[in-house]
Structure 1
Amino acid sequence: MATFTATTPLFEVMRDPAGHEILAHHVPELAANPLLHTLYHYQLGLILGTEESLRNDPAKKAEILAKIEALQPSPAPDRSDRNNEPAAGYESESVERGSAQADFAAKGRKWQRYEITLQGPSHGNPFTEVTLTADFTSGGETLTVPGFYDGDGTYLVRLLVPAEGEWSFITRSNAKSLEAITGSFTAAAASPDARGVVRVADTFHFAYDDGTPYLPIGTTSYVWTHQGDAREEQTLQSLKSGPFNKMRMCVFPKSYLFNENEPGIYPYEGTLEDGFDYSRPNPVYYHHLEKRISQLEQLGIEADLILFHAYDRWGFSTMNAAADDLYVKYVTARLASHRNIWWSLANEFDLMFEKTIEDWERFAAIVQENDPNKHLLSIHNCRQMYDHSRPWVTHASIQRLDIYKTAEMTTQWRQEWQKPVVIDECAYEGNIDQGWGNITGEEMTRRFWEGAIRGGYVGHGETYVHPDDILWWAKGGKLHGTSPDRIGFLRRILEESPAGHLEPLPGHWDAPSAGIKDQYELIYFGFNQPTYRRFVMPPGIRFQIDVIDTWNMTVETLPGTFEGRFRIDLPGRQYIAVRLRVEA
């Protein structure tokens, strides 16, 4: 029996290396089509029958189909070649140990970056041939921090200082001039507005290092940092006036629907015409990325940074294992000193057919090894959920699997993984032809509320058709949808909750609720439209009640207080919530 037939979904053929090779060789325009991922669920025969270059060549179509039907399942790709070990003697014996010029400050500050700049050798390929770390010690605790090459003979070591006090450091390197350089600094207390890194708190939620609750109200703009200064500044202005405090974004550029423009800078040395050298990252590219991440931090926005994705025409998604490892280590070393980083190993990991589960586990280990501040770390799915029970996964980053049920699954996922649930893709508000990108603002807002009441966090995105293909989800710019203001209203409601976040409560079969038992309760009716509601509450506790119109963004406090069994009138509209507060 043939492994593949004309009725096999294109997705299954493309994920097989031999099948991918046949299609890329005979129908290169299909393999390079920016709409490829929208064709995956169609049958192979239908795709070949409608491909423009094959319409008048049935013989070629039959030949391609026959080659694919004759295939046997491909063995798992060999990802074992990861030899990146630098040579021991990068510099000659005549070089004086620790002779590199070193610049560093005498003072630092808790929860701010401290940087050591070293002027060292530049022969050969310092990106792959030089190792550099620094051991930072304070109060008996030592943190090992990786350094990295920044081009033009400059090396940097960066620490996000975790504590105030006296710190000392010593460098270690296979380059003699960079070895055993020592120094010290005094870290002052954190600045009044600093809160530290976001961590998991209370199992299902988040808080900054200083204990301040953090409620992720996220949005997605995958390649906003590749659109030129004018549009990137416009994106920052939109964020400044919007409700969002987390931005999902890619390191690499993207090639996909509405994403066909070339980036202004590339992440590696080389050119589009001649190819790229994956052993030589481009520091200018990362200077730009770091600038934008820092600007997000100034706005109080976490940068949920996606390391890999499949939407690629430059080869960045299909590098070999050694190049992948070098990239992950380099990016982590460069960016881990940013307070507002979250690591996302991949957007839709299961569409990156060349990579194995072992690869993703190895990437996670590299990030953990090279991030002394242990920022949040996760991975994101398309069709197949990753095992979020893995110990390195700090929180579940989810794209919904069911077309309709999205935030409703929060309850199940919390129980299954006992970790925060962040539904980064519940679909996008917009009007494109794809079902993932044409829900209404009302439905986007409903999903946010549904997820929040169930103790999770839902993410936003926007895909409204634009004459110049400037869709927020991809390129940023301006927000055009109706949900952001309502999401901002939800954020204010959540911030007013006594615990700083919502924990689900039992007791209602027909509507989710959350809060603190017999003290504070928020009930959400979603697309139901009751005109009244009966309550049975413990005697002796008097409640004030607010009727919240989540779409019109109004809060009506009912007159008087309520106790025991009672009934309240409701407006008979969708998207209503009721809030019960113990009488002050």
Structure 2
Amino acid sequence: MGTSYNKNVERWDVFEVSCEGRKDGNPFTDHDITGNFKGQNENVTVDGFYDGDGVYKVRFMPSFEGEYEFTISGSFKQDQGEEVSGRFTVTPASEDNHGPVRVANTYHFAYEDGTPYYSVGTTCYVWDLQSDERIDQTLESLTEAGFNKIRFCVFPKHYDYNLGEPRSYPYEGTPMDSSVLTKDNFLQYTGAASGNDWDFTRFNTEHFRHIEKCILALRDRGIEADLIVMHPYDRWGFSCMTEKQDDLYWKYVLARFSAYRNIWWSLANEYDLFLHKTIKDWERYASIICEKDAYSHLRSIHNCRPFYDHTRPWITHCSIQRQDLYKSAELVNEWRQRYKKPVVLDEIAYEGNIQHGWGNISPEEMVRRFWEAVCRGGYPGHGETYMSGDDVLWWSHGGRLKGESWKRFKFLHKIMCETPGIGLAPYEKCGWDEVCAVPEETAQMTPVRDYYLFYYSFMRPSFREFYFDDNTEVDVEVIDTWNMTIEDRGTHKGRFKIELPGREYMAVRIRKHR
């Protein structure tokens, strides 16, 4: 094999160099490989990784077009002579390739080429560790629903409705005998390492290659991979590894996945439930990301009860699970003011009918929370937990969606994309008894003259009166957010009255007449 690589790669795609190297000792810990990639506008050095069978790889995501050269070095080579080197060309990005997502306008997101990105996400923890058939079903469902972000795990998950074994494990070794597990005794195994036999210094490369395949499948559908690197729902011992084992894992994950443009880093799902981790540990993991991720992908950490300190400089956006039984989206204004960062409500409860309070809200309530969050300048996330005879719930396994809320997200996303500029902001100058959104760029103006989006949630007004000034002509539309209709109500100026159907979940969009 020697060394292999492609001579051409498009901007923001993955350029990969594969090198044949040493198999002696433990290649994951005893040998290293590093790549330097240099173009006219950037000079980037990244770690590579061992991919099994004597093959070492280095990956790079070029941010510019043009000619590049690279050198590969490290102790991986049998012959410690000259460095491996070569040249390649970065071609323009294809039509649907906008680069990685970045923070924009303080509270919002845009792709690196400037295209606004409006997150409509879902949670599906271990869809990637299911059968090929179910993975294909999940990808079809994601596309049909119009989701553009999905949260999922590297490690398998152990919890209610998740007592089976995954398709693969991240380490070489053998798991405990799962035949001893029941729904009554599973808690005693959470976080336990006993009964497992893992070598935490040797990764199962097939497990990671499969996750990469899933990341690429998402990328090709325009979906961001919000990768949960650690979580506490564990019977295999992955949540209670040593500091040295954790750091080796983090560096391997970063070396393998950082070059994919659609990666987001979620340090943890429910960081505060880890029995063996402290804030010092999470800050150490964050420092590893900041050092090893040459592309500065989005980074956050998710809570169960107390929030992490989202003001920390390494956190790019807030990843929030609601803390209140009832309120979620209603608190977006407060969180925006407190953290001055994008607010992503990754868990606002799940549409479904399981016993847990976080998993049995109605589809109407899920859609209401989405619209409420969006009109307050946040980005809500979906989940679904309907009981199933085979215990296959979307929230963890993926497959086919059973609910109703997902059918209404493409409609909302279209409304979001029609926002002037980048992102909506809450506008409290209109009135106390309605939720009003305006473009972020104009939120501090009095009055805003070009765009308003009013949302009436569970309220049912039969009409609303509006007044902005005496001269500006505006076009008015009445939006039924549940039935997904937009009704033109003509052009108005001065003081005017708009009749409404007296139903829940209505909105009014008012735009300056052109």
TM-score clears 0.5? yes
Cα offset, 1:511, TM superposition: 1.2
Q: Whole-Å Cα distance in 1 between the matches of residues 398 and 7 of structure 2? A: 40
| Structure 2: gaps spanning 5 or more residues | 177-195, 440-447
- 2:259 is the counterpart of 1:329: no
Whether contact under 8 Å (1:494, 1:500) holds in the other structure is no
* Aligned 1:109-508 pairs, distance under 5 A: 109-139=10-40, 141-175=42-76, 177=79, 180-273=83-176, 275-506=197-428, 507-508=430-431
Letter paired with 2:55: T
Secondary structure of 2:235's match?
coil
Q: Provide the C-alpha distance between the structure 2 equivalents of 1:531 and 1:324, rounded to a whole number of angstroms.
A: 58
* Aligned amino acid, residue 525 of structure 1: Y
Secondary structure of the residue aligned to 2:145 is coil
Letter in structure 2 aligned against 1:226: L
**Equivalent residues of 1:221, 1:475 under 8 A apart:** yes
Secondary structure of the corresponding residue to residue 199 of structure 1: strand
Query: What is aligned with 1:538?
Result: 469
Q: Give the Cα–Cα distance (whole angstroms) in 1 for the partners of residues 309 and 61 of structure 2.
A: 30
1:494-573 mapped onto 2 (5 Å cutoff): 494-506=416-428, 507-516=430-439, 517-558=448-489, 560-573=490-503
Runs of 4+ in 1 over 4 A off after TM superposition: none
3-state SS in 1 of match to 2:459: coil
Structure possessing the higher radius of gyration over alpha carbons? 1
Mapped partners of 1:212, 1:140: distance in 2: 21
Secondary structure at the aligned position of 2:38 is classed as strand
SS in 2 for 1:304: strand
Contact kept in structure 1, 2:71 and 2:86, CA below 8 Å: yes
Structure 2 CA distance for aligned equivalents of residues 417 and 111 of structure 1: 30
Structure 1 position 435, deviation (Å): 0.4
Deviations 1:231-261 (A, max 9, x none): 1111111112112110000010000010011
- Deviation per residue, 1:397-454 (Å, 9 max, x gap): 0000111110111101111111000000000000000000000001100000000000
Partner SS for 1:459: strand
Residue pair 2:41, 2:64 contacting (<8 A) in 1 also: no
Deviations 1:149-188 (A, max 9, x none): 0011100000011111121122231345467222221212
- Output the amino acid matched with 1:265: S
Residue 264 of structure 2 contacts residue 297 of structure 2 at CA under 8 Å; is this kept in 1?
yes
**One-letter amino acid of the structure 1 residue matched with residue 381 of structure 2:** G
Q: Name the structure 1 match of 2:188.
A: none
Amino acid paired to 1:137: K
C-alpha displacement of 1:504: 2.1
The gaps in structure 1 that reach 5 residues or longer are: 1-99
Q: For each residue in 1:27-59, what CA deviation from the matched residue of structure 2 results, as whole angstroms up to 9, or x when unmatched? A: xxxxxxxxxxxxxxxxxxxxxxxxxxxxxxxxx
Pairs aligned (count): 484
Structure 1 counterpart of 2:509, one-letter code: R
Distance 1:105 1:448 in 2: 43
Q: Is the 8 A contact 1:104 1:116 kept in 2?
A: yes
**Cα shift readout 1:471-529 (whole Å, capped 9, x = no counterpart):** 00010011111101122211111112222531222322111111242111000010110
Q: Which amino acid aligns with 2:511?
A: R
2:456 is matched by which residue type in structure 1?
Answer: F
- For the residue of structure 2 that corresponds to 1:561, the secondary structure is strand
Q: Which has the higher contact order (CA 8 A, sep 6+)?
A: 2
SS in 1 for 2:225: strand
The alignment partner of 1:334 has SS state of: helix
Distance 1:131 1:182 in 2: 16
Q: CA RMSD in A?
A: 1.3
Aligned CA distance change for structure 1 residues 554 and 349 (closer, same or farther; 3 Å): same
Corresponding residue for 2:187? none
Would the aligned equivalents of 2:108 and 2:422 in 1 still touch at CA under 8 Å? no
Counterparts in 2 of 1:140 and 1:296: CA distance versus 1, 3 Å: closer
Structure 1 residue 193: Cα displacement: 2.5
**Residue 140 (structure 1) shift:** 6.0
Whether the 8 Å contact between 1:106 and 1:186 is mirrored in structure 2 is: yes
Q: Secondary structure at the match of 1:491?
A: helix
Given that 2:56 and 2:76 are in contact with CA atoms closer than 8 Å, whether structure 1 keeps it comes out as no
Structure 1 letter corresponding to 2:465: R
C-alpha deviations, 1:70-96, integer Å up to 9, x for none?
xxxxxxxxxxxxxxxxxxxxxxxxxxx
CA apart distance, 1:230: 1.1
DSSP-derived class of the 1:327 partner: helix
d(CA) in 1 for partners of 2:336, 2:494: 32
TM-score under structure 2 normalisation?
Answer: 0.92
Partner Cα separation in structure 1 for residue 214 and residue 11 of structure 2: 22
Distance 1:529 1:103 in 2: 64
CA distance in 2, matches of 1:508, 1:268: 57
Q: Is the 8 A contact 1:309 1:349 kept in 2?
A: yes
Give TM-score scaled by structure 1 length.
0.81
- In structure 2, distance between residues paired with 1:577 and 1:193: 31
AA of the residue aligned to 2:54 = G
Partner SS state of residue 313, structure 1: coil
What is the DSSP-based 3-state SS (H/G/I as helix, E as strand, rest coil) of the residue aligned with 1:398?
A: strand
Q: CA deviation at 1:101?
A: 2.4
Letter in 1 for 2:492: F
Equivalent-residue separation in structure 2 for 1:358 and 1:209 (angstroms): 32
Any idea what SS the aligned residue of 2:367 has? helix
> Following the alignment from structure 1 to structure 2, what is the Cα–Cα distance between the partners of residues 579 and 141?
44
Is the Cα–Cα contact under 8 Å of residues 329 and 366 in structure 1 kept in the other structure? yes
1:23: which partner in 2? none
